[in-house]
Structures are given as C-alpha cells and as structure tokens.
Amino acid sequence: MAASPVVVAVTRGGLLVKVLIAGGAGFIGSTVASALTDAGHTPVVLDNLVTGRREFCRGRAFQLGDIGDADAVDRMLRRHPDIGVVVHCAALIAVPDSVARPVDYYRANVSATLEFVDRLLAHGVHRLIFSSSAAIYAPGAGLGVDETSPLEAGSPYAQTKLVVERMLADIAASSPLRVLSLRYFNPIGADPAMRTGLQTAVPSHALGRLMLAHRAGVPFAVNGLDWPTRDGSGLRDYVHVWDLAVAHLRALERFDDIFAVGAAPHVAVNLGSGTGTTVLELVAAFNAVVDRPVLVREAPRRPGDAAGAYARGRRARELLGWRARRDLATGIADSLAWHDRRERLLGDLAPRRRQLAG
C-alpha cells in the first residue's frame, strides 16, 4: 500500500501511531490498548459498553457509541483525523448465546461492521485489523489448522465472523481498504500488570467455569466426552491474552509491509499457541496450580459446539514475527489472579446491560 501510517510522533523506537480500538473497553480490546500504550502508541476507544467496561479505559480517549451508529463513528473520526490504524474487536462472542439470539449476533457483528467500514472508507481510514476467530475452521483430521484449512462455521457466532471476513475481503478488493483478520484461538489470562482482564462475573468459557466450580466447591461439568479427540473431551488452543495483544502491536507496526505491492488486500493470520489442550487436560493443568482439586462430571454437548482445533503453520511468525510465549500454567495463574482482582475493581456486573438498554 502506498500510504504511510499517520504518525503522531517519531522516537528512537520507530513511528508512533494513533489507533482507534472499536470494542476497546472489552477483554481483548482493553488488553490490546495497554500493549499499544506501553509501546508508546496512542489508543482511542469507541465502545457501546454493552459488555465492555468504562473502568478499562481510564486515562485514554474514550467515546461511548456503537460501531453501527454512523453519527457516533463520524464524530469519533472527525475528533481524531490522525487515526492511522483501526483495531476492530467490537462483537458479541459467546457461542451458546449466539444459538439462542442469532438476530442480535448478526446485527451486532455483521450489520454494524458494514456500517462501520462504510464510515471508515468515507473518512479515508484504510488500515483495519479485524478480530476474527478460530471458530470458523471446519474440524479436520488431527484438528490442527492453518490459514488455508477448510472453513465451516458451526454456530451463528462463527458464521458472523466468517461472513465479516468475506465481506471485508470483497470490500478490500474494490477499495483502498486493507484488512488483516487475526483469527484468535481461545484467549485466557489477563494483563500481567492486572490493569484489565475478563470483565464478566459469570463467564461461560471453560476456564471461567472451572474457576467458578473451584470457588463453589462443586464438580466442573465437561460438555461431552464423545468428541473425536484423544480423551473424548473438546480440544482447544489456549493462548494468553497478553500474547494476543502483542500480536496486535506487531500487526500494527508491520501493517504496510504485509500489504506491500502485490499482496492480497485481505490477509488472515492464526493466533494460537500451537498446542491443543483437551478439556480434561485443562482441568489437570488447573488442578496443578490450585490448592484443592476440582472434580469433573459429564454433561451433554452444548448447542453449536465443535470438537475444536489448534493452530498450525508459520504465517504469524513470518508476517508478524510473533509466536505465543506464555504457557498454559501462566494463563491459568493470571486468570485466577485477575478473578480475585476483578471483584475489587468492578464488583458485580449483572445489571449492566439492562441499565444501558433501559
């Protein structure tokens, strides 16, 4: 791409860029914002606070608004005409929830993204880093997937991510837009400095449920022991959220090199640890770091669930110079540390969505 980043400062470390983070009050977006801030860049946040937290944006420019609200996006882009790159992590993300509320998911993840990109193009903002998901891969033999593996969305949530990737690729093919889709595997952990972490009090993901079971002293429900994996439980690739945040930093700094002349205008990159971990292995790793072990009980498969996948291949290393550095035990320990801190920092969140809606 011909244009160079909109530079807000030049230091000995390189170019510093103002970055719009849509969904920057959420778990991943706020962690990305911290990693960019630590590296000297300037994140500005647009978030509707349906699931995000204002507390996660202290000390940085913040605008309350939805990415699907053209007026809010226009206001933001007029206020910050020097935005060089956009990180788009604004989405609803829970697989079972998406099965129950597909209309909400398509509206929030697909329709709103279309409006958002329309406004970005209108304002001449052409660098987009999109939060995609490993949930879009079709499960294959061995469960290891690279970016060329077949895609098959098994839930409305996954469909929204797949549709948006394809939509962005089509738009990029006929416009100056350049899109890097980062396909996250399963994020765990928290900012190692404990500034932010998972905001929800009652998480639905496996490690969150495991922590709740541990705290309540009840068995952890394993959703299905008949998956085609080595022990029958679902397999995932757990990647530390700080490693993900660092990948965004690398993506931002290498963006124009990735899209140098001749490259496709949409590029997808897997962000995983490269290691598959089954639910039963996750429980064993968890029990190795806690005082008293959690027992397990078998429960039915969840709607929309899949056997799972882990990241394979070298694209993240080649394009971003990135690989995951933090191991599963560190991710579990940081999740546990954040779980305690979250309560002191945020308190209970359950009424949040209703308050905002009402």
Ligand X SMILES: O=c1ccn([C@@H]2O[C@H](COP(=O)(O)OP(=O)(O)O[C@H]3O[C@H](CO)[C@H](O)[C@H](O)[C@H]3O)[C@@H](O)[C@H]2O)c(=O)[nH]1
Q: Which of 157, 287, 290, 301 is nearest to 229 (CA)?
A: 301
Query: Does residue 335 interact with ligand X by CB under 6 A?
Result: no
Q: How many residues bind ligand X (CB under 6 A)?
A: 24
Query: Does residue 164 interact with ligand X by CB under 6 A?
Result: no
Nearer to ligand X, 19 or 279 (CB): 279
Residues 248 to 307 in contact with ligand X, rule: CB under 6 A: 279, 302, 305
Judged by CB under 6 A, the residue of 49, 72, 76, 95 near ligand X is 95
- Catalytic one of 105, 106, 137, 157: 157
Q: Which of 286, 288, 289, 269 is nearest to 278 (CA)?
A: 286
Judged by CB under 6 A, the residue of 34, 133, 149, 277 near ligand X is 133
- Degrees to nearest 5, angle at CA 104 with 101 and 106: 105
Determine phi and psi for 65, rounding to 5 degrees: 170, 160
SS (H, E, C) 84-133: EEEEECCCCCCHHHHHHCHHHHHHHHHHHHHHHHHHHHHCCCCEEEEEEE
Residues 226-245, one symbol each (x = binds ligand X by CB under 6 A, - = not), give --------x-x---------
* Distance (Å, whole) CA 295 – CA 219: 5
Per-residue burial over 89-104, b = 16 or more CB atoms within 10 Å of its CB, e = otherwise: bbbbbbbebbbebeee
Nearer to ligand X, 80 or 315 (CB): 315
Helical packing angle, 328-346 and 206-216, nearest 10°: 70
Stretch that binds ligand X, among 15-23, 60-68, 179-187, 241-249 (CB under 6 A): 179-187
Judged by CB under 6 A, the residue of 22, 222, 251, 311 near ligand X is 222
Is 105 annotated in the active site? no
Nearer to ligand X, 81 or 293 (CB): 293
Nearer to ligand X, 263 or 329 (CB): 329
Positions touching ligand X (CB under 6 A) are: 93-95, 133-135, 157, 184-186, 204-206, 209, 221-224, 234, 236, 279, 302, 305, 308
